[in-house]
């Protein structure tokens, strides 16, 4: 039995993955933005081992979430699933003055990865849209660019793959993967999405728990249990390091090399 933490598991694919993992008798700790959402998450996933709260748009709350996670029993796997969508028409500055999409989709998984006790496996949920992300990594926080919600989302999903591969390279003792679930009919994807919800959640489950050699080899990119080809930019070590340096500068938290 594995002990697994899933960010953004109060609804959507995170909640579906949590239900499957509970059915498989794993110990699943959910995550929600606040206590009210946490109660809803526990009600929706009977048998979950617990829930941790923290608003990922706030650096202070994200650090607090990492502290609370570290105060529990160690995790075998962490699935970085939480994300906000691409329909935001405004930059929406957070309490830290950050673009909301960047804060939640990029900086939060970076901070949690850095501050949480290292699990055996890390899984980062990206998107096929990452292939259209800005590989130059200029102005990550949208301080100079004119706001474009869809492009901000694309960029953040590129960042997630870069982060997954950087962790795989820097931390040889941790298995780190990224995946694209497809266009899912969740709250984020919308009712017209054509993806298979079950298939979209089972890759996270498989990567978090499987003894299959493919799942145990770090640095993979996946779609529906099969290897997929990510943007070529994601394998560029200089780009990975540039992202890490910018995340460290904006968060005040440095990802260790070992």
Q: How far apart are CA 189 and CA 248, in angstroms?
A: 30
Between vectors from CA 143 to CA 142 and to CA 147, what angle results, nearest 5°? 45
Rounded CA-CA distance 32/211 in Å is 29
Q: Which residues are catalytic?
A: 153, 157
- In this structure, the strands spanning 50-53 and 27-32 are parallel
> What is the three-class DSSP state of 82?
coil
CB 253 within 8 A of CB 114: yes
> What element of type H or E holds 5?
strand 3-6
For tokens 């109660």, name the residue: 39
Contacts of residue 148, defined as CB under 8 A and 6 or more positions apart, other chains included, come to none
Residues 6+ apart with CB under 8 A from 120: 76, 77, 174, 175
């Amino acid at each position: 039995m594995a002990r697994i933490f899933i960010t953004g598991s109060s609804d959507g694919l995170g909640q579906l993955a949590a239900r499957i993992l509970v059915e498989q008798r794993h110990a699943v700790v959910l995550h929600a933005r606040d206590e009210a959402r946490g109660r809803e998450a526990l009600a929706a996933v009977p048998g979950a081992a617990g829930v941790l709260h923290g608003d990922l748009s706030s650096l202070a709350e994200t650090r607090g979430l990492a502290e609370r996670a570290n105060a529990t029993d160690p995790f075998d796997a962490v699935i970085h699933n939480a994300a906000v969508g691409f329909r935001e028409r405004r930059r929406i500055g957070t309490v830290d003055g950050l673009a909301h999409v960047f804060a939640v989709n990029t900086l939060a998984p970076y901070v949690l990865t850095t501050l949480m006790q290292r699990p055996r496996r890390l899984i980062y949920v990206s998107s096929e849209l990452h292939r259209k992300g800005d590989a130059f990594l200029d102005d990550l926080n949208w301080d100079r660019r004119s706001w474009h919600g869809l492009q901000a989302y694309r960029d953040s999903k590129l960042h997630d793959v870069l982060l997954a591969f950087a962790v795989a390279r820097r931390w040889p003792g941790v298995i780190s993967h990224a995946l694209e679930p497809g266009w899912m009919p969740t709250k984020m994807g919308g009712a017209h999405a054509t993806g298979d919800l079950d298939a979209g959640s089972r890759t996270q489950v498989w990567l978090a728990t499987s003894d299959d050699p493919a799942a145990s080899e770090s640095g993979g990119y996946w779609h529906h249990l099969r290897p997929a080809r990510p943007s070529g930019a994601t394998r560029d070590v200089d780009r990975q390091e540039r992202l890490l340096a910018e995340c460290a500068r904006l968060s005040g938290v440095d990802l260790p090399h070992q």
